[in-house]
Amino acid sequence: MEPEQYFDEVPNEKARCFYDQLEESSCPLCEGNPHSTLSVAVRLMNIKSNWNVPNAAMDSMANLLGELVNPEFNISKNFY
């Protein structure tokens, strides 16, 4: 019996949009910076979960963080 061959399937429009967003959010914030938009969001959600931070407080902190960093970094101003 021959092994099955796998072919890449062209994703539908919704999947393509998701993959594009995922790829864009995975790019480094700037050259030499180990963080991406996605890694920042994940770290903030981890902090929220570990410390039981209320939604309103989290949004305020995210907003402040967004004001402090370079606007090109595209950090989310809220998470809900």
Sequence-distant (≥ 6) Cβ neighbours of residue 26 within 8 angstroms:
36, 37, 38
Instruction: Judge whether 73 lies within some domain.
Output: yes
Instruction: Judge whether 5 lies within some domain.
Output: no
**First-residue to last-residue Cα distance in the chain:** 51
Q: Return the exposure string of 56-80: e unless at least 16 CB atoms fall within 10 Å of the residue's CB, then b.
A: eebbeebeeeeeeeeeebebbeeee
Tens digits of per-residue pLDDT, 50-67? 999 999 999 999 899 989
At position 50, the amino acid (one-letter code) is N
Boundaries of domain holding 45: 35-80
56 or 1: which leads in pLDDT: 56
pTM: 0.74
2 or 63: which leads in pLDDT: 63
At position 26, the amino acid (one-letter code) is S
Instruction: Judge whether 40 lies within some domain.
Output: yes
Instruction: Judge whether 15 lies within some domain.
Output: no
